[in-house]
Amino acid sequence: MARTATRRHLPAIAFATLLLVTSLLPLPSGASGQVPALLGIQPDKWVHALSYGALTGLLAWGRTARKVTVVAALAGVAIAYGAGIELLQGLVPSRGTSWLDFLANAVGAGLAGAAWLWYRR
């Protein structure tokens, strides 16, 4: 049983690793500002929200969460992970720490948690 539970968490672990690696890669020069805003929101904020929403969904799926408190805790884990990555980005020369990115992460995680609960009911 423990082995099955561990396997259910592998997608979340793999995706979290992908987020970490891609978030800490240096940006190529001139990479920002090439794509227009969607609904007045910059594309990178959409990517942040979708990424941390996906992480929350994978965590909830791995845990087979049904309770509000558990899903809220898992969304909190995703948000804290994103905050840690934002802080680490301050160490990468072509990147920086952004409160708006953190906010987009939190919104995505929160909305995904709510969608998960709605789906599971």
Q: 64: closest CA among 76, 54, 52, 74?
A: 74
Q: Whole domain around residue 105: which residue ranges?
A: 2-22+40-120
| Whole-number pLDDT of residue 4 | 75
Residue 27 inside a domain? The answer is no
Residue 97 inside a domain? The answer is yes
Residue 33 inside a domain? The answer is no
117's tokens: 């609960």
Residue 35 inside a domain? The answer is no
Report the number of distinct structural domains present in the chain.
1
Residue 29 inside a domain? The answer is no
pLDDT tens digits, the chain, 121 residues: what are they? 466 767 899 999 999 999 999 999 987 766 555 656 666 677 889 999 999 999 999 999 999 889 999 999 999 999 999 999 999 999 998 888 999 999 999 999 999 999 999 998 8
84's tokens: 């840690």
| Whole-number pLDDT of residue 32 | 57
Residue 31 inside a domain? The answer is no
107's tokens: 């919104």
pTM summary value: 0.88
